[in-house]
Amino acid sequence: MHLPRQLGALHNLPDTPEAYDAVLAGVTEEALARLTPEGNLEHPDCVEDIGDTSLGITSLLALAWQRGKDPRLPEAVRRSLAFHLRERVYTEDNPGYPNLKARDTGLPYARYVLEAGAHPIGDWPSTVWALLQAVDVLDLAEGLVEDEQRAELLQVAHGYWRWLTEATFFNPQEAGNQAIGCVVGGLMLARHLPPEQAEPVRARAIALYVDEIRAHRVADRGALLPPEHGGAYDNNYGPISLSFLAQAHRVSGEEIFAEDGDALARYIDARLTGGGFDNGGPRYSEQHSGFESVLGLRYFSARIGSDLGRYRGDTRWGRHAVKADGGLDGHFAWMLVWQIQDTTRWHRSPSSTPARHQLRAGTVSVAFDSRMTPSLVEAAGTYYLPAAVNRQHGFGPVLDGFLLCRPMGEVRVRDVSADGLTAKLVTKPVVGRDHVLRHVQSLYVTDGGSLWMTVAVERLPGTPYLLAGLPYATDDGDRVRRTADADVTSAGELRLTHPESDGVDHFDARADRTQEQTAFALAADPRGYGNPDEGWRHLVSSTALEADPAPGAPEDLHVFAVRYGPTGPFAPAFAHDGSGLTVRTEAFTAVIGEASGDAHGEPELTLRAA
């Protein structure tokens, strides 16, 4: 089976002016055919996320007219704008909405579902989206919208802003993308207001960002990130937040948005495989955004000098939102408007600067979590997740069911490049069930085609093995296909084991179940509200690669050696003396310094090609 949303790299979508004009031409024809006598442009099947959608298509038509002056469009824009102002602006409180700070204000808002009292919790983001569609139309109104209608739209947009920031609690869903989007709406709105109104709106927008978003950033993998639905990062919403930061910087010129966007971009770059696969987050573990991410990934790929566009988006949404039948939906249309207006081009080559939480060269990449345990390994087009044993997840030595990968103290990292090889040495103090402190040294070496992982630890009692990953998915053209196979070679005996139980908390890679489905099934709350990362942490066991100790290791050490990638002879040799552990393979010789490190406690590593 294929993963449903991990599709092509977003930078593979043509983004020339001609390509965008062709997109807008298609939008124009579909919209004109759909336009009702009342001026409605909504998709007939639209129920949820509806409050901004007709206005979103209106903004696309306005942009198409500004670029091509199609004579059919002015009337369509005016009629559809009149429909929104007449039918989709609500001023009476929605029954059951829980986040009001002031009742019966008469301020306008947009509904997530049109029926009164039906799922009102979505009204806050829907109003943010309606504000953004409105300011886009205001930006594009010159020569297209008559003064009276434009003034009414500006009044409604200002009312949306006041409802979002005065009548309700700010960011009630703790969703960074929604909150930054609201800030962007305020910054864009201010440009259309008279000076005495504009400056308070602009100042309030920046203050909200500083005090309500930036001050509450969450740490993950060495970065401070805007919180997303209660977590640090979501692989669907995180890149959308990056797009909002890009637009905030484009509109305001405020350096704070560029600085925070750079930090988020470097974080995404470090956690993203070379092939663009990623998973994880507090809402949609494997669901990827499409066009909503393009602006941010493209804008900041140029700023940080790395190929963020390799991100595998949902290219069914590569240009704009669509319904199940492929029909146009105006939801999030402002992102297409902004990416067409922005002239930044993709940066398409990887960064050459080593990153603590990433090892990457050629078609091999390792993303590390905050504890410097691999969170995702990519080699030969196959992606490996951390395996699970006895409710413990990771890569590392296992003794009597206990996984030695959680650090008890500072984790040291050394990056080395030599002779076409790229390596990372991670030295981690760990404590087992026997309360003995041991140093686990994990060496990752790649030539861009294969990945060698060598793990050394003071000799353990009993019969330990290395938990070496869960083979999960593999590239299949522009798709990602589920797999239970692996091209992995081990110096010791290698086993691919599967759970004996078929319960949801035992993940068998051979079953027709995705990581996302399992994670939501184990989450405490319903899908769309629960935290799949939290649910996945309840996994008891999984399909797992288990590697026995390598033969010929020094008597005082257990050494495990595996190679991910093309198969072939693999017989590493080891020697241990005063300078450390020497590892010789068919591709390299490495000397791993003693765990105590140099005079500053830093690990030492030398590397040369074989």
Taking only the tens place, the pLDDT of each residue in 490-518 is 999 999 999 999 999 999 999 999 999 99
Residue 598 — very low, low, confident or very high, per pLDDT cuts 50/70/90?
Answer: confident
Residue 124 has pLDDT above 90, yes or no: yes
In tens, the pLDDT along 337-373 reads 999 999 999 999 999 999 999 999 999 999 999 999 9
- Comparing CA positions, the residue from 560, 580, 578 lying closest to residue 570 is 560
- CB-based contact 406:397 (threshold 8 Å): no
CB 309 within 8 A of CB 300: no
The pair of three-digit structure tokens given for residue 426, joined into one six-digit string? 């991670």
Work out the end-to-end distance of the chain between its first and last CA atoms, rounded to an integer number of angstroms.
40
170 three-state secondary structure: coil
Q: What percent of the chain has pLDDT over 90?
A: 95
Per-residue pLDDT, 241: 98
The whole-angstrom separation of Cα 423 and Cα 112 is: 50
Question: Quick one: which of 97, 94, 62, 89 has its CA closest to 76?
Answer: 62
pLDDT at 268: 98
The backbone region for 457, taken as left when phi is positive above 0, alpha when psi lies in -120 to 50, beta otherwise, is beta
Confidence at residue 601, expressed as pLDDT on a 0 to 100 scale: 87
Q: Each residue of 236-253: pLDDT tens digit?
A: 999 999 999 999 999 999
Half-sphere exposure in the Cβ direction for 181 (13 Å, CA): 33
Q: What pLDDT sits at residue 219?
A: 95
pLDDT of residue 371: 97
Instruction: Return the structure tokens found at 206.
Output: 């920046």
Q: Is the pLDDT of residue 579 over 90?
A: no
- DSSP-derived pairing of the beta strands 541-542 and 506-507: parallel
pLDDT in tens, 61-96: 999 999 999 999 999 999 999 999 999 999 999 999
CA distances from 332 to 27, 71, 295, 301, 610 (A): 14, 26, 12, 22, 53
Residue pair 340/27 in contact (Cβ under 8 Å)? The answer is: no
Residue 114 has pLDDT above 90, yes or no: yes
- Quote the pLDDT of residue 484: 96
User: For residue 595, what pLDDT is reported?
Assistant: 81
* Across 159-163, 279-283, 394-398, least confident range: 279-283
The string of pLDDT tens digits covering residues 14-26 is 999 999 999 999 9
pLDDT of residue 527: 87
pLDDT value for 596: 82
Contact between residue 304 and residue 266 where contact means Cβ atoms under 8 Å apart: yes
* 530-575 residue pLDDT tens: 899 999 999 999 999 999 999 999 999 999 999 999 888 999 999 9
- Say what percent of the chain tops pLDDT 70: 100
Phi-psi region of 41 (alpha: psi -120 to 50; beta: other; left: phi over 0): alpha
Output the pLDDT for position 189. 98
Q: At residue 418, what are phi and psi to the nearest 5 degrees?
A: -165, 140
